[in-house]
């Protein structure tokens, strides 16, 4: 009978020692500490009562060993509880209720950035706001040469730009001190390498690729575009020449050549514009990373974001990379609620739609360029035949 009452007393004390779970999310450290102390106290009392009742028999060594094992078990439980609370905290961060202001800011800044990119592409045309070169001044005369600059003047400005900024080590060893190469330039070979436009001009071989260009990289890309497009050297006409039949035919050919070259130039200018940092990009990144720890951690890896900012292409790459190449995103998603996962899926679907629209525009430009190539091949094939047939018609009159 005595043993029965003692057991009831031990059970009652264990009930009081049970962890209080209400409010544990607010103060996990305090709750874990109180729970651990209560469990340890309950164990001591239980052992003491059991000993009095004759249930526990043994030496003091056995009691101490039992206490140590119980304490170890309690500590393991406390550590597991702390781990679970940390996962819960991370999950709560990612499961914050959607903020309409933040979501609206993302859409607003994204649209502003898209419009800015279109304006930048146009600004690289001669006479545009970004056409003048400031960091690579020797290349400015070449990039912004007048439309009717003769081949001699254009060649001189091209070589002057290369000699000042773009000579590589091999050229410097062979031609150093001459008009074609003064010394090794700050961006060797940047005016003739495709990577200047696609991955950024590099001061040294092996420098990392870049999707957000510095001012010097932007100007080097402008020089490459001027060099790669090889604009037709149109000689200017005086008024007397412009009023002749031959002058009109000559000028019509010049206009046709400029129109055809425009398609190639536009494609390259668009590619450069996608790599130019846009001021609106900083505000857009701030909206994306607000309340999103894994996104904030990934964007913190981009040092140029605090200086030059971020380009449209770099932003697209980052939005993919912060998910696909970011382990923390997987941790966040594993702890996220179904609602948070659904919101992330919606964002990714919207991003995919934007990619598809840009791909459609790219396909359109490619079709136009292919059409120009087809037209040029047709003229090369049919032009002489038509001219020969026309001479026969004239001969029969």
266-311 pLDDT per residue, tens: 888 989 999 999 888 888 888 888 878 888 888 888 888 888 888 9
Q: Which of 62-66, 111-115, 124-128, 320-324 has the lowest mean pLDDT?
A: 62-66
Same domain, 139 and 228: yes
The SS3 assignment for 222 reads helix
CB-CB neighbours of 267 under 10 Å: 17
CA 27 – CA 240 distance, rounded (Å): 91
pLDDT class of 162 with cuts at 50, 70, 90: very high
Inside any domain, residue 172: yes
| pLDDT greater than 80 at residue 41 | no
Q: Which domain holds residue 41?
A: 2-94
CA 231 – CA 311 distance, rounded (Å): 28
Query: Angle at CA 224, nearest 5°, toward 222 and 227?
Result: 110
Interhelix angle 245-273/215-229, nearest 10 degrees = 140
Mean pLDDT, residues 120-137 taken together: 88
Same domain, 64 and 180: no
Token match 């992330």: residue?
A: 344
Same domain, 190 and 233: yes
pLDDT class of 10 with cuts at 50, 70, 90: very low
Of 149, 143, 140, 144, nearest to 232 (Cα)?
A: 149
Tell me which of 263, 279, 306 is where a domain ends: 263
Same domain, 57 and 129: no
CB-CB neighbours of 78 under 10 Å: 15
Same domain, 259 and 130: yes
- Element (DSSP H or E) covering residue 82: helix 60-94
Same domain, 85 and 145: no
Give 61 or 391, the one with higher predicted confidence. Answer: 391
Q: Which residues pair with 310 in a beta bridge?
A: 278
CA distances from 362 to 225, 267, 270, 358, 368 (A): 18, 9, 10, 6, 10
pTM: 0.66
Signed CA dihedral, 307, 311, 317, 320: sign only: positive
Of 270, 268, 261, nearest to 147 (Cα)?
A: 261
Q: Phi-psi region for residue 206, left (φ > 0), alpha (ψ -120 to 50) or beta?
A: left
Same domain, 132 and 204: yes
Same domain, 63 and 11: yes
Helix then strand count (H, E) for the chain reads 16, 0
Tell me phi and psi for residue 178, to 5 degrees.
Answer: -100, 180
Inside any domain, residue 274: no
CB-CB neighbours of 259 under 10 Å: 10
Give 249 or 111, the one with higher predicted confidence. Answer: 249
Q: Which residues pair with 278 in a beta bridge?
A: 310
Same domain, 130 and 77: no
The SS3 assignment for 130 reads coil
Per residue in 43-54, pLDDT (tens digit) is: 555 555 555 555
Inside any domain, residue 210: yes
What is the pLDDT at residue 89?
60
Inside any domain, residue 293: no
Per residue in 241-274, pLDDT (tens digit) is: 889 998 888 888 888 888 888 888 888 898 999 9
| pLDDT greater than 50 at residue 186 | yes
Inside any domain, residue 24: yes
| pLDDT greater than 60 at residue 92 | no
Inside any domain, residue 115: no
Domain count, the chain: 2
Same domain, 152 and 257: yes
Per residue in 129-151, pLDDT (tens digit) is: 888 999 999 899 888 887 677 77
CA 335 – CA 83 distance, rounded (Å): 13
The SS3 assignment for 22 reads coil
| pLDDT greater than 60 at residue 127 | yes
CB-CB neighbours of 52 under 10 Å: 12
Interhelix angle 60-94/327-335, nearest 10 degrees = 100
Mean pLDDT, residues 176-200 taken together: 92
Inside any domain, residue 365: no
Same domain, 163 and 243: yes
């Amino acid at each position: 009978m005595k043993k029965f009452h003692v057991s009831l007393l031990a059970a009652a004390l264990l009930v009081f020692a049970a962890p209080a779970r209400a409010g544990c999310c607010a103060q996990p450290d305090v709750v874990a500490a109180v729970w651990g102390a209560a469990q340890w106290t309950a164990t001591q009392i239980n052992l003491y009562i059991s000993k009095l009742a004759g249930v526990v028999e043994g030496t003091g060594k056995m009691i101490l060993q039992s206490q140590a094992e119980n304490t170890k078990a309690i500590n393991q439980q406390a550590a597991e509880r702390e781990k679970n609370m940390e996962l819960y905290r991370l999950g709560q961060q990612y499961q914050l209720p959607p903020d309409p202001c933040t979501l609206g800011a993302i859409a607003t800044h994204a649209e502003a950035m898209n419009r800015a990119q279109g304006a930048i592409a146009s600004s690289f045309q001669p006479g545009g706001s970004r056409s003048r070169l400031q960091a690579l001044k020797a290349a400015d005369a070449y990039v912004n040469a007048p439309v009717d600059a003769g081949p001699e003047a254009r060649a001189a400005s091209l070589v002057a730009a290369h000699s000042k900024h773009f000579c590589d080590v091999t050229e410097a060893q062979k031609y150093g001190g001459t008009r074609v190469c003064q010394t090794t330039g700050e961006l060797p070979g940047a005016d003739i390498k495709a990577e200047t436009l696609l991955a950024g001009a590099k001061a040294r071989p092996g420098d990392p690729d870049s999707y957000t260009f510095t001012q010097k990289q932007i100007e080097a890309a402008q020089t490459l575009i001027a060099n790669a497009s090889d604009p037709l050297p149109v000689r200017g006409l005086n008024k007397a020449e412009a009023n002749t039949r031959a002058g009109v035919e000559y000028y019509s050919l010049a206009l046709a050549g400029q129109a055809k070259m425009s398609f190639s130039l536009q494609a390259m200018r668009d590619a450069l514009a996608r790599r130019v940092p846009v001021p609106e990009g900083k505000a857009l990144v701030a909206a994306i990373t607000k309340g999103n720890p894994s996104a904030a951690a990934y964007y913190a890896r981009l040092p140029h974001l605090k200086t030059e900012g971020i380009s449209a292409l770099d932003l697209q790459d980052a939005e993919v990379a912060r998910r696909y190449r970011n382990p923390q995103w997987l941790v966040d998603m594993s702890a996220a609620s179904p609602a948070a996962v659904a919101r992330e899926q919606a964002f990714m679907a919207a991003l995919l739609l934007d990619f598809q629209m840009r791909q459609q525009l790219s396909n359109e430009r490619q079709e136009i360029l292919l059409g120009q190539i087809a037209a040029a091949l047709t003229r090369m094939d049919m032009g002489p035949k038509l001219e020969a047939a026309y001479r026969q018609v004239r001969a029969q009159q």
